[in-house]
Amino acid sequence: MIAARLAWANLGLHRRKSLLIGMIMGLGILILFLGNSLIDTALSGLQRMFVQGYTGDLMVTGPTEFSTTVLGETAGSEEVLPHIAQIKKYEDFLASRKDVASTLPLLSGQASFGIGEAELGSGYCFGVNVDDYRDFFPDNVTLMNGEWPAENDGPWVLLSEPTLALLNKSASSPVKPGTKIIMTALANSAGTVIREVTVKGVIKFNQSNQQLSGITLVDADTMRDLLGFASLRDGAPVLSGQEAAFVTSFDPDSLFNDLFAGSGGTAATGSASAAEAWGQGAAASSAQTSVQAEVVPAWQFLLVRVKPGASSSRLLSDLSAFSKQIDDGDRVQDWIAGAGKVARTAVTIRLAFDLLVAVVAVVVIMIMMNVLVISVNERLYEIGTLRAIGAKRRVVRNMILYETTFLALIAGAAGLLIGLVLLLVLGKVGIRAPNLFFEALFGGQVLKPMVSGGAAIRAFLWILAMGLGASWYPTIVALRIEPVVAMRGD
């Protein structure tokens, strides 16, 4: 305790140095607290928006080397994301889990809209079963006009307000519920696909940014057509006995044996591709089983919502392991990958911020270290006297460490208090996004920062670590002071 008492008293005696170090620490903690709170707010806003409105907590996607956003944007590839061949297995696995609240299959892609031959605009589309979609995202979609599609309705779309406005800019007569429009897309295997659909209603996404607010919901079969997958609108293919016999006895390898004779590996690859192509053309799952077995519709995404309080990272890990067992090359990813650039940018900004803090921390530690060394050198005789009258080295070491810790506590409390006030004020006033990038990052036009307990703890731990790091060398200097110094007088 005497070390603490001396440390406390020394801080008071060396007020200027204490104030200087305290201000550096206080400023550091303030910047860390504010910065991390802002990033936490943006990230948690993004997380809330995407998890509750677009991606769920986790998603399984069809086989792809890179992560894919829920808008179907695959990093490093222009190709349409393939479907999940064995989606049923995933659904069964997830249904057996106690930590899974619900799942939703989804298709995603881009299409153009037109009336007659006039193209009116284009946008992102989700192919969904509308009831399932509304169950999975109950709070994110509001019907503004028209009606929700019924089960037996023909091809339909639910246009978002911005998309409707876009179409109406060029349309000769207003597009509205009941209007038939043409959707066009360029599919991988099927070339240009054109489908006529009926506008069933106009929707609004309650949590969105500029990109997400324009999404159009399309019936799943139309979306399959547009993406080049087999449509199941008319059910499974009805084959005559002869056709069925042919299909069941069909050996795709035999088609290309002549072409690839003498090259076993290539022949195998070719036959696999052929089977795959046939599979996409005939139905959405395995080619050889599609006719005889239950026909499984093609879906590119399987969104997963975990139960409140359950660990999504644990489920991610388990689901990834399960996907490896299936070995189709499907990808399991979290909401950040599903959200894409915006969320990754926020995470990157946090990393960059932490990196910047680490660099600044080194500079600050050097400054603090210098000030503390000067302080120790000024107390040469005092420390020498302590050693002479019987203070062991640990008393001296503790004294320096206590000084730093007290400073960190006081400066930390001051920095956190100021940060808290600033955050409360900013929370009331809000920070307006200066451009679309920030609007996407903020998850809206105005960011109202929240007080983040995690940011406060992280900031304090940073400062404490910096303080202790800065006191390392001064402590060594202090421990080197021999008691004989006391005899030399001051």
Partner 1 sequence: MSDIIISLDKVKKVYFLDTVEVDALNDISLDIHAGDFVSIAGPSGSGKTTILNLIGCVDKPTSGTVIVHGKRTSDLNDDSLTELRHKSIGFIFQTFNLIPVLNIRENVELPLLLDSQSGSGRKADRKEWVDFLIENVGLKDRMLHKPAELSGGQRQRVAIARALVMKPAIVLADEPTANLDSATGESILRLMRHMNETFGTTFIFSTHDPDIVEEADHIIRLRDGRIVEDRRRNGTSVDFAAAPGADEPVGATGTEGGQS
Which chain residues interact with partner 1 by CB under 8 A?
1-2, 5-6, 9-10, 12-13, 381-382, 384-393, 395, 482-484, 486-487, 489-490
- Nearest approach in angstroms of CB 464 to partner 1 is 24
Rounded Cα gap, residues 153 and 183, in angstroms: 17
Rounded Cα gap, residues 429 and 442, in angstroms: 15
CB atoms within 10 A of CB 263: 11
- Nearest approach in angstroms of CB 16 to partner 1 is 15
Using alpha carbons only, give the angle 84, 87, 88 rounded to the nearest 5 degrees.
160
- Nearest approach in angstroms of CB 369 to partner 1 is 22
CB nearer to partner 1: pick between 324 and 393: 393
- Nearest approach in angstroms of CB 481 to partner 1 is 11
CB nearer to partner 1: pick between 194 and 487: 487
- Nearest partner of 287 among 301, 298, 299, 302, judged by Cα: 298
CB nearer to partner 1: pick between 65 and 490: 490
- Nearest approach in angstroms of CB 10 to partner 1 is 6
Rounded Cα gap, residues 231 and 222, in angstroms: 7
- Nearest partner of 60 among 347, 348, 321, judged by Cα: 321
Instruction: Identify any residues that bridge with 149 across adjacent strands, giving them in sequence order.
Output: none
CB atoms within 10 A of CB 96: 8
Rounded Cα gap, residues 193 and 71, in angstroms: 19
CB nearer to partner 1: pick between 1 and 238: 1
- What is the H or E stretch that residue 127 is in? strand 118-128
CB nearer to partner 1: pick between 9 and 351: 9
CB nearer to partner 1: pick between 330 and 382: 382
- Nearest approach in angstroms of CB 14 to partner 1 is 9
- Nearest approach in angstroms of CB 323 to partner 1 is 60
Chain-centroid distance of CA 15 in Å reads 47
Instruction: Return phi, psi of residue 21, to 5°.
Output: -65, -40
CB nearer to partner 1: pick between 119 and 378: 378
Rounded Cα gap, residues 454 and 476, in angstroms: 33
**Would the CA dihedral through 437, 442, 444, 449 be positive or negative?**
negative
Rounded Cα gap, residues 60 and 389, in angstroms: 70
Pairing of strands 58-61, 331-334: antiparallel
CB nearer to partner 1: pick between 387 and 458: 387
CB nearer to partner 1: pick between 13 and 465: 13
